[in-house]
Amino acid sequence: MAKQKVRISSISVRDIRVPTSDSSSGSDAFHKNPDPDYSAAYLEISTNIPNLNGVGFVFTIGNGNDLVCRAIEAYAQPLVGCSLGVFTSNPGAFWKKLNDHPQLRWLRDGINRMAFGALINALWDLVSKYHNKPLWQLLAEMPSEELVNLVDFRYLRDALTPEDAFALLERRFQGLDHHVASVIAAGPPAYCTAGWSGLELDDVERRTRHAHDELKLPAIKAKVGLDIEADRARMERIRSVIGENGKLGVDANQWWGAPDAIAHMEALADLNPWFIEEPTHPDDVFAYQDIARALRPRGILIAGGEHASGAVSFKNLLRADALDLVQIDVARVGGVNELLAEILLAAKFDKPVCPHAGGIGLCNGVQQLTIFDQIRVGGQRDDQICEWIDFLHDGDTMLTPVEIKDGRYCVPQVPGFSWEMTPSFLDAHEFPNGDVWRDRQEHFALRYA
Amino acid sequence: MAKQKVRISSISVRDIRVPTSDSSSGSDAFHKNPDPDYSAAYLEISTNIPNLNGVGFVFTIGNGNDLVCRAIEAYAQPLVGCSLGVFTSNPGAFWKKLNDHPQLRWLRDGINRMAFGALINALWDLVSKYHNKPLWQLLAEMPSEELVNLVDFRYLRDALTPEDAFALLERRFQGLDHHVASVIAAGPPAYCTAGWSGLELDDVERRTRHAHDELKLPAIKAKVGLDIEADRARMERIRSVIGENGKLGVDANQWWGAPDAIAHMEALADLNPWFIEEPTHPDDVFAYQDIARALRPRGILIAGGEHASGAVSFKNLLRADALDLVQIDVARVGGVNELLAEILLAAKFDKPVCPHAGGIGLCNGVQQLTIFDQIRVGGQRDDQICEWIDFLHDGDTMLTPVEIKDGRYCVPQVPGFSWEMTPSFLDAHEFPNGDVWRDRQEHFALRYA
């Protein structure tokens, strides 16, 4: 930070909601989240330097987005007037200060952790922009010791020590230029869901053809859970396009307890699913272990992490040998610092980081972490994929849309986290007074009678 | 609900804070929560029937109490105008509706779960008052099938089925009058912390004498974690009062990772601690298992649960054989329904329910559950204790203070949850405009510079 001194001049937190539940378009037509309104609790940090800002946000699915906004304000407002140096002088200590706040820590995970994660991510966005580098590059070029210092190892040491982390990071610091060039030549493989539960089978087939034949995505996903025969029909239709050996993952969005998950997936095993994602409660380590032990012999791997409460949850799923695809989420935990811990844990257990994305702008955000992982930690692996969605990720929504080529993410070159939303999108979707909401009801606020 | 029809007429949610960090009086003078402001996000549900209300609250330690208030409002406000029948017709389905809300469920545990737990608890308070019974009695007299229907077994079945729960509940439904009389004759054994970290040793000794000699409490607790020699001195001073065979528990408030926990407690093992409470991260099942395997051979049991995120966390700690004292907390999880699941899990694994309490009014609240457990589920056990504190639980604070006699909780006979606060306490401590706060700064709001 040798150039001009950066000072935080103001913050804004906006409640952004898209009424996706008006129609089935792009919505997760599924039992557990039947009608989400894709939303973002959107933080922008402004500085004394014109056009230098930092953006971070929490993705939610509608109701409660306002609660996350208030929590982000509580963490971000006291930064106004501070030098950016309060963060950059020791980002690991800053993270620990938020995570261990003497009073706020009582509120634990969920809203509280998401909120300080948004602030942490906005600060990383700001720092990357200040250095005029994409976040993946800023992180990839950092000395191993600095990266190690970003992580709080207190609750991880039984599985990952600072020495382990240093060794993992040093391994690929050698030959960095080569690794960067290799990932730029062929970025993380993308995949998408074509088999939403609510769709007609012909629509499932059409979406699969588009993803497989035109976009060349190396894997396709289907939702499962409610009805074995309907799940089977959907999977068969996808198999009819991608063939017997195509990669087909399935996702239960936490629908089952362990015994049901095992029974349901055993009944679908002949369709050769690559993985079952979120078969049960996201932190339920022994349920995941039961499921892994029952289904791996049938050739089915276990994916999870989208809703995992934090790095400790990943640590235990990995210690239990109950997780094969490590689905980090960029906006649920404590931001870049905690995501780095999760990426290091995956490498320690030799499992691929396969991020959850979608929503609004989550693809933009998490690509930075998975590219960093490919360059600097886990390397490029055949079994690694990164979720992708074409909905709410275009130029109307995002200033710098994600690009997919030959079934892979293109490595972004714009400075920062590359997840700013366009001013017109933000203005139109601000809840409850933006154009989109002014004459519309909030969806699914609680109704008891 | 055969009498008059009850309708919810209004709700109020108040941000109540006590500036306990002004002085060390009653505060947890400990490293992780060095200066809490004991607080409550306090919900009162009013009805069409004069003087019939329902009270539920979340305990916090200061900052962020406002966020919990807003979350409680989101859950409670839509009840206004509804009949109480929306809850009483099927309280299990009502709980599931909050836990599985199609949009709010994205926000998971912490603030979100605490908030709907406060609403659930307020409704149970209201129903108990309507039936003119203390909550413990209302629950203890319910048929086993109705109790089973309160619980969501989806994520518990691998350890506890509805059939298991029914059998556990039936066991003590026979002879109910006898069990009630037995618990009224000798209620749950109480214990308290005398060895706060910040105290002079003479003060530790004075408090231990009061608790042991005068109040006849069968166990005493000390804080540990920062400094082995200081911990040793504190424990030795307590042993000098309670003798070699007195029950002395110690509490680390999540301070360590597993390796540190083991090393620290091995160094204190010669002082014969009964248990180590919260040695590490509250949901860290394998860290707890490592600690249990190392310390049980030294005679030290494992206590935890105060910050556990929910019933799934308890299930896994018990499945790992990593928890000996099951410290349920009345105001952190999803209210009575989820607490019942936790109590049933403890019984299934034959472990004693030993509630966490303290704060403001937590003793008043959780006594109802532990008395119910003694009557109807786990029975009266020699290894069962219930935390107790004499601070902020008196008649100035609580309408119906907890009573302790011969070292045991007296079974309360007032209708409801017995945890209403006095109007004068509420008015004086409302943040930020009550008398106590009007000329005072909020403590420990974040300061970055």
> Which residues in B lie closer than 8 A to residue A445 (C-beta atoms)?
74, 78
From B63, B78, B312, residue closest to A283, measured CB to CB: B312
Looking at residue B390, its pLDDT comes to 87
Chain B residue closest to A99 (CA)?
A: B32
Contact B393, B19 (CB under 8 A): no
> Mind telling me how many Å the CA of A23 is from chain B's nearest CA?
16
Beta-bridge partners for B301: B275
The residue among B30, B32, B69, B158 with the most chain A CBs within 10 A of its CB, best to mutate, is B158
**Do residue A287 and residue B35 have CB atoms under 8 angstroms apart?**
no
Axis-axis angle for helices A311-319, B285-295 (nearest 10): 60
Provide the terminal-to-terminal Cα distance of chain A, rounded to the nearest Å: 57
> Which residues in B lie closer than 8 A to residue A81 (C-beta atoms)?
449
> Which residues in A lie closer than 8 A to residue B156 (C-beta atoms)?
257
Chain B residue closest to A115 (CA)?
A: B107
DSSP letter assigned to residue A411:
P
CA–CA distance, A342 with A323 (Å, rounded to integer): 13
Band the pLDDT of B441: cuts 50, 70, 90: confident
Average pLDDT over residues B304-325: 98
Average pLDDT over residues B430-441: 94
**Do residue A64 and residue B74 have CB atoms under 8 angstroms apart?**
yes
The residue among A20, A59, A68, A107 with the most chain B CBs within 10 A of its CB, best to mutate, is A107
Q: The tokens of A157 are what?
A: 């040491």
Residue B134, classed as helix, strand or coil, is strand
Count how many pairs of residues, chain A against chain B, have C-beta atoms within 8 Å: 227
Q: The tokens of A77 are what?
A: 């407002």
At residue A77, what is the residue type?
Answer: Q
Mean of the per-residue pLDDT values for chain B? 95
Q: What percent of chain B has pLDDT over 70?
A: 97
**What domains can be seen in chain B, in order of their start residue?**
176-421 (3.20.20.120)
* Backbone dihedral angles phi then psi of residue A37, each to the nearest 5 degrees: -105, 100
- Residues of A with a catalytic annotation lie at 223, 356
**Is residue B337 predicted with pLDDT exceeding 50?**
yes
Contact A46, A53 (CB under 8 A): yes
Tracing tokens 């969501």 back to the chain, one arrives at B152
From A155, A443, A444, residue closest to B280, measured CB to CB: A155
CA–CA distance, B297 with A157 (Å, rounded to integer): 23
Q: Which helix (H) or strand (E) holds B42?
A: strand B39-47
DSSP for B388-433?
--STT-STTTBSS---EETTEEPPP-SSBTS-PBPHHHHHHHBTTT
Contact B215, B407 (CB under 8 A): yes
Parallel/antiparallel/unpaired status of strands A39-47 and A53-60: antiparallel
Looking at residue B348, its pLDDT comes to 98
Residue A72, classed as helix, strand or coil, is helix
Label residues B393-414 b or e (16+ Cβ within 10 Å = b).
beeebbbbbbebeebbbbbbee
Chain A residue closest to B446 (CA)?
A: A78
Looking at residue B34, its pLDDT comes to 67
Could you tell me how many residues make up chain B? 449
Contact A304, A288 (CB under 8 A): yes
Q: How many CB atoms lie within 10 A of CB A11?
A: 21
> Mind telling me how many Å the CA of A85 is from chain B's nearest CA?
9
Q: Does the active-site annotation cover B223?
A: yes
> Which residues in B lie closer than 8 A to residue A256 (C-beta atoms)?
154
Question: Which tens digits make up the pLDDT trace of A288-346?
Answer: 999 999 999 999 999 999 999 999 999 999 999 999 999 999 999 999 999 999 999 99
**Do residue B104 and residue A79 have CB atoms under 8 angstroms apart?**
no
> Mind telling me how many Å the CA of B152 is from chain A's nearest CA?
11
Q: Which helix (H) or strand (E) holds B56?
A: strand B53-60
CA–CA distance, B95 with B116 (Å, rounded to integer): 9
Q: The tokens of B88 are what?
A: 């009483």
Beta-bridge partners for A431: none
Supply the pTM of this predicted model.
0.97
Chain B residue closest to A257 (CA)?
A: B155
Question: Which tens digits make up the pLDDT trace of A261-275?
Answer: 999 999 999 999 999
Band the pLDDT of A27: cuts 50, 70, 90: very low
Q: How many CA atoms lie within 13 A of B360 on its CB side?
A: 30
**Do residue A71 and residue B67 have CB atoms under 8 angstroms apart?**
yes
From A33, A60, A103, residue closest to B36, measured CB to CB: A103
* Backbone dihedral angles phi then psi of residue A12, each to the nearest 5 degrees: -135, 140
The residue among A89, A158, A226, A260 with the most chain B CBs within 10 A of its CB, best to mutate, is A158
Residues 6+ apart with CB under 8 A from A218: A189, A190, A191, A247, A385, A407
DSSP letter assigned to residue B104:
G
From A67, A101, A156, residue closest to B446, measured CB to CB: A101
Residues 6+ apart with CB under 8 A from A396: A422, A424, A425
Label residues A301-336 b or e (16+ Cβ within 10 Å = b).
bbbbbbbbbbbbbbbbbbbbebbbbbbbbbbbbbbb
Q: How many CB atoms lie within 10 A of CB A2?
A: 3
Looking at residue A33, its pLDDT comes to 64
Q: How many CA atoms lie within 13 A of B14 on its CB side?
A: 21
**Do residue A103 and residue B290 have CB atoms under 8 angstroms apart?**
no
Peptide bond into A355 cis (omega under 30): no
From A111, A156, A287, residue closest to B158, measured CB to CB: A287
Average pLDDT over residues B277-301: 98
**Do residue B287 and residue A155 have CB atoms under 8 angstroms apart?**
yes
From B33, B86, B316, residue closest to A284, measured CB to CB: B316
> Mind telling me how many Å the CA of A281 is from chain B's nearest CA?
7
CA–CA distance, A112 with B64 (Å, rounded to integer): 9
DSSP letter assigned to residue A122:
H
> Which residues in A lie closer than 8 A to residue B278 (C-beta atoms)?
none
CA–CA distance, A67 with A181 (Å, rounded to integer): 42
Output the CA torsion sign for A376, A378, A381, A383.
Answer: negative
Mean of the per-residue pLDDT values for chain A? 95
**Is residue A120 predicted with pLDDT exceeding 80?**
yes
The residue among B8, B60, B66, B67 with the most chain A CBs within 10 A of its CB, best to mutate, is B67
Query: CA–CA distance from A257 to each of A271, A430, B153, B405 (Å)?
Result: 22, 38, 8, 44
Beta-bridge partners for A55: A44
Band the pLDDT of B340: cuts 50, 70, 90: very high
Looking at residue A28, its pLDDT comes to 47
Residues 6+ apart with CB under 8 A from B308: B282, B283, B314, B317, B329, B332, B333
Residues 6+ apart with CB under 8 A from A324: A275, A292, A301, A302, A303, A351, A352
CA–CA distance, B1 with A448 (Å, rounded to integer): 18
Q: Does the active-site annotation cover B356?
A: yes
Set B221, B223, B247, B348: catalytic member: B223
From A32, A105, A110, residue closest to B108, measured CB to CB: A110
Q: The tokens of B324 are what?
A: 């000996």
CA–CA distance, B110 with B100 (Å, rounded to integer): 15
Beta-bridge partners for A398: A421
**Do residue A157 and residue B81 have CB atoms under 8 angstroms apart?**
no
> Which residues in B lie closer than 8 A to residue A105 (C-beta atoms)?
32-33
**Do residue B60 and residue A103 have CB atoms under 8 angstroms apart?**
yes
Lowest mean pLDDT among A62-71, B28-37, B40-49: B28-37
Band the pLDDT of A64: cuts 50, 70, 90: very high
* Backbone dihedral angles phi then psi of residue B443, each to the nearest 5 degrees: -85, 140
> Which residues in B lie closer than 8 A to residue A284 (C-beta atoms)?
155, 312, 315-316
DSSP for B139-188?
HHTS-HHHHHTTS--TTTTTT--HHHHHHHHHHTTTTHHHHHHHHHHS-P
> Mind telling me how many Å the CA of B420 is from chain A's nearest CA?
22
Q: The tokens of A167 are what?
A: 């060794």
Looking at residue A32, its pLDDT comes to 56
Looking at residue B1, its pLDDT comes to 46
Looking at residue A289, its pLDDT comes to 98
**Do residue B158 and residue A82 have CB atoms under 8 angstroms apart?**
no
**Do residue A157 and residue B258 have CB atoms under 8 angstroms apart?**
yes
Query: CA–CA distance from B342 to each of A7, A155, A191, B303, B337 (Å)?
Result: 49, 25, 40, 14, 9
**Is residue B27 predicted with pLDDT exceeding 80?**
no
